[in-house]
Structure 1
């Protein structure tokens, strides 16, 4: 837990599925309160799966070690930089061994608790087209902004949001970890009281089911574990064209230190691949 932070009671659940088309699950997630991550890897076996697992490992170290809750943005930025460096070094090493076209990259969405004089807050960050939503009073709001070609076209007025769903470049992203240069994440800050339920998910979910389906699931299912399971299952049932991952976090309230639940759910290096570089 972050050193010096108010203890916030969080209930969470997470689910992931390889889907019906891909052979390898390149998604990874971390649910280690108060740190939550979803990473959607790119590059195929030993590329995308390694890249996303590196992100989970680095943020897992952060969760284990603790962090200064008043320096949240700096903490996330430095952890993302460490991810970028490790992924880039891994890719360079593979290419040096003769895999000239080898590429390892990943998106990342991150949520962690921070604190200032006004109390605890959610700090959210994203790179790529994995998404963060907040769900309050039955209303679903996308917080993150996709770093994608189609999002840029929508913002420029060149295509509509409906056009983006079927555009041939809808899967082309403009920011990710693992490229030749470091790229900046987008950051969002929300008071704890303004978020009842938080959702992090890969585009294997949002590319298969509409936001109104996600909202219906979140509204119908009170247990975050069941909600995450239902979201991923719905994405698979809708075609399962990509790996699908969801993390759902409910803010219950402040609590005493003795009741803090540090249970971790992690798709980690040991579970997926063995030792990472």
Structure 2
């Protein structure tokens, strides 16, 4: 029997007052909280299983509200995400839900709250990769770590490695704006390993360091070492990540 192992954590980092990231693994969610150690969950492959992170838009009040709303909604519809179209429809619905919630809560200053989202849906025989914004999905390959999500960011200047600007997200504007989610499918292969994370990991930690850490065979330890690398780099932002492995029993 094939199964999915997920080792995940979420932490505010060293400089932010609160954690505006959220995480979903199947029916399980972590919203605006702190995990002291990686949590590992194991699921048999069968019903579609979604693993995703959401990063509340920095500089906008209500980022934690937006990210929590999205992961909870994804958790509720996760078992029905059996196609690319179903996944796109779900992300469109999340975008509308964030805009609607911002309208209701505009008096609390949440009128432009928004969030990124990135993750995978594991199904028998295939895996869907999706994102809106600059949270990432990376795949561990024989030649290193390859990004399989698509950043919604403006082109980088020569020598520039990161940017805090996103060109689309869920919510984030005072007037409703549709999104074009990035969704791709790839074959499900035993031994495949993915890193799903917010930019609190990828901004401070260079790609070569991420590659080296992902060579650690123990998923829980890899998750811990990734978090530690972000903290040692100053922990400038919230850090949420999940190491996902496809394995045979």
Structure 1 length normalisation: TM-score?
0.75
SS, match of residue 22 in structure 1: coil
Distance 1:93 1:68, change over 3 A: closer
Instruction: Kindly indicate whether residue 227 of structure 2 is the aligned counterpart of residue 232 of structure 1.
Output: yes
Which protein shows a greater Rg? Answer: 1
Q: How far apart are residue 181 of structure 1 and its match?
A: 0.9
Instruction: Kindly indicate whether residue 67 of structure 2 is the aligned counterpart of residue 52 of structure 1.
Output: yes
For residue 39 of structure 1, what is the aligned residue in structure 2?
54
What is the rounded CA distance, in whole Å, between the counterparts of 2:104 and 2:134 in structure 1?
27
Deviation string 1:30-59 (CA, Å, 9 cap, x unpaired) is 122521011001156861101111111011
SS, match of residue 13 in structure 1: strand
What is the rounded CA distance, in whole Å, between the counterparts of 1:14 and 1:183 in structure 2?
27
Higher-strand-fraction structure: 2
Deviation string 1:93-127 (CA, Å, 9 cap, x unpaired) is 222x263x742100000200235xxxx11110111
Distance 1:133 1:204, change over 3 A: same
Gaps of 5+ in 1: 1-6, 256-277
Gaps of 5+ in 2: 27-42, 44-48
Aligned partners of 2:192 and 2:246 also within 8 Å: yes
Higher relative contact order (CA 8 A, sep 6+): 1
Count of residues in correspondence between the two structures: 225
SS, match of residue 194 in structure 2: strand
Match of 1:19 among 10, 13, 17: 13
Distance 1:98 1:212, change over 3 A: closer
Instruction: Kindly indicate whether residue 104 of structure 2 is the aligned counterpart of residue 89 of structure 1.
Output: no
Distance 1:191 1:24, change over 3 A: same
For residue 114 of structure 1, what is the aligned residue in structure 2?
123
